[in-house]
């Protein structure tokens, strides 16, 4: 069931100032606390931001305008080419999201809703499905497909690099077939992680034949029809919060698909136990306790001292410094 605008804006925030949105008195736009207005077109809020889009994003949007029907009528061929049934294959991707009937799920660049329908089937009336795309024509087709679904559906035109949600809103975030069109993939993936709860899942896939198949006729044939198969694997663009990352190539090895769990900030570890051996110390003291360098001769002497004393470098140096500190009254 499609949520009303009034209900939808309870979960949406302004992509401009991150604050709440309200409807204008005329009801044909949303307005944020800074006074920036966002139109509502065909019952769908247009929260595309920044207002002046990156050229590549505008081009993408223009490309899909007027193409939705043709896209929807022919897209199954992408799977057929590799002897696959589209819905069955997409279900395998969706399974990686680990969604429950009451999950809050975001689909970025939902297009004509080919995955959206399947995602909706995993949710009941306590779940929420939020469908976003930058093309009004594409999302129009998705909207038609959502009429009878049980879950609450929020639809919105937005730029996937600038999502109109507060942090940690979703249990899962999904995007298939679009990342290659984002000029700043790292920013988009960071946004996906920002709006997903810690412990939530993110699944992203797009065209990209792996390096080891690039010198094949298979690849050259594919490239002739769709240059997107030359896209690089955006592994360096994954956000620092990405944990338990898994990567595979799907649809006959022509699309990469990675999934990861959202963690909090940098990875952490136990860096504080004493490491056995002649260096001694811990991971942390080796990193954080570095002192100035010494001559090669002094270094050699130090190692001899350590050996003679039957200790390790960390303990010997620490003792030496503490003794000196005591002598000078510092300790
Ligand atoms: C190839 S279609 C994939 C659609 C759908 N996910 C599927 O698997 O059929 C790519 C979609 O990405 C959307 N898109 C491109 N750039 C976008 C952006 N910056 N933000 C949101 N959507 C974008 C396009 O409008 C288009 O609907």
**Cα-to-centroid distance, 250 and ligand 1 (Å):** 18
131-177 pLDDT per residue, tens: 999 999 999 999 999 988 889 999 999 999 999 999 999 999 999 99
Q: What is the model's pLDDT at position 130?
A: 98
- Tell me which residue of 262, 119, 260, 128 sits closest to 197, measured CA to CA: 262
Catalogue the E-assigned strands of 163-317: 170-176, 196-207, 242-250, 255-262
pLDDT at site 109: 98
pLDDT of residue 111: 98
Residue 89 has a pLDDT of: 98
- CA of 321 from ligand 1 middle (Å) equals 61
Q: Give pLDDT tens digits for 246-265.
A: 999 999 999 999 999 999 99
Q: Which residue has the tokens 């090669």?
A: 296
Cβ atoms of residues 32 and 20 within 8 Å: yes
Q: What is the 3 state secondary structure string of 81-133?
A: CCCCCHHHHHHHHHHCCCCCCCCEEEEECCCCCCCHHHHHCCCCCCCEEEEEE
Q: Please report the pLDDT score of residue 171 as a whole number.
A: 98
Cβ burial of 30 (10 Å; 0-12, 13-18, 19+) is buried
Pocket test for ligand 1, best of 47, 60, 69, 162 (most atoms within 8 A of CB): 60
Q: Is the CB of 110 under 6 A from ligand 1?
A: yes
Dihedral over alpha carbons 81, 85, 87, 92 (to 10 degrees): -90
Q: What burial class does residue 192 get, using C-beta atoms within 10 Å of its C-beta: 0-12 exposed, 13-18 middle, 19+ buried? A: buried
Per-residue pLDDT tens for 78-104? 999 999 999 999 999 999 999 999 999
Whose CA is closest to atom 25 on ligand 1? 135
Predicted pLDDT of residue 331: 81
pLDDT in the model for residue 249: 98
Number of other CB atoms surrounding residue 322 within 10 Å:
12
- Residue 148 has a pLDDT of 87
Question: Of all protein residues, whose CA lies closest to atom 10 belonging to ligand 1?
Answer: 178
Q: Please give the pLDDT value at position 85.
A: 98
**How many C-beta atoms surround the C-beta of residue 108 within 10 A?**
27
As a whole number of Å, the CA-based R_g of the chain is: 27
**Which parts of the chain sit beneath pLDDT 70?**
none
CB distance 181 to ligand 1 below 6 Å: yes
| Whether residue 57 has its Cβ less than 6 Å from ligand 1 | yes
Residue 205 has what pLDDT? 98
Strand, helix or coil for residue 42: coil
Does ligand 1 have an atom closer than 6 angstroms to the CB of 203? no
The CA 110 to ligand 1 mean position distance, Å, reads 6
Q: Whose CA is nearest to atom 4 of ligand 1?
A: 111
Q: What is the pLDDT of residue 78?
A: 98
Residue 113 beta carbon below 6 angstroms from any ligand 1 atom: no
pLDDT of residue 97: 98
Which DSSP symbol is given to 184? -
User: At 84, phi and psi to the nearest 5?
Assistant: -115, 150
């Amino acid at each position: 069931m499609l949520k009303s605008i009034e209900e939808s804006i309870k979960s949406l925030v302004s992509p401009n100032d991150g604050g709440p949105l309200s409807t204008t008195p005329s009801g044909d736009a949303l307005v944020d606390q800074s006074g920036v207005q966002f139109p509502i077109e065909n019952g769908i809020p247009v929260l595309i931001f920044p207002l002046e889009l990156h050229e590549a994003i505008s081009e993408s949007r223009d490309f899909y305008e007027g193409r939705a029907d043709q896209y929807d009528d022919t897209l199954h061929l992408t799977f057929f080419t590799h002897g696959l049934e589209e819905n069955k294959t997409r279900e395998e991707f969706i399974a990686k999201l680990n969604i429950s009937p009451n999950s809050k799920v975001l689909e970025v660049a939902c297009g004509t809703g080919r995955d959206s329908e399947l995602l909706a089937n995993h949710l009941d009336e306590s779940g929420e499905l939020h469908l976003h795309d930058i093309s009004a024509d594409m999302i129009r087709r998705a909207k038609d497909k959502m009429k009878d679904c049980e879950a609450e559906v929020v639809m919105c035109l937005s730029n996937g690099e600038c999502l109109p949600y507060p942090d940690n809103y979703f249990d899962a975030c999904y995007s298939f077939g679009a990342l290659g069109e984002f000029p700043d993939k790292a920013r988009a993936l960071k946004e996906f992680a920002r709006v997903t709860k810690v412990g939530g899942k993110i699944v992203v896939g797009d065209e990209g034949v792996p390096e080891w198949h690039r010198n094949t006729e298979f690849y050259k044939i594919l490239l002739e029809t769709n240059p997107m198969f030359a896209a690089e694997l955006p592994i360096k663009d994954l956000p620092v919060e990405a944990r338990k990352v898994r990567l595979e190539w799907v649809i006959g090895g022509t699309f990469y698909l990675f999934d990861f769990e959202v963690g909090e900030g940098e990875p952490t570890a136990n860096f504080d136990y004493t490491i056995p051996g002649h260096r001694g110390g811990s991971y942390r003291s080796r990193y954080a306790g570095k002192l100035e360098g010494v001559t090669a001769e002094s270094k050699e002497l130090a190692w001899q001292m350590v050996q003679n004393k039957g200790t390790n470098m960390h303990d010997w140096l620490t003792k030496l410094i503490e003794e000196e500190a005591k002598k000078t009254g510092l300790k």
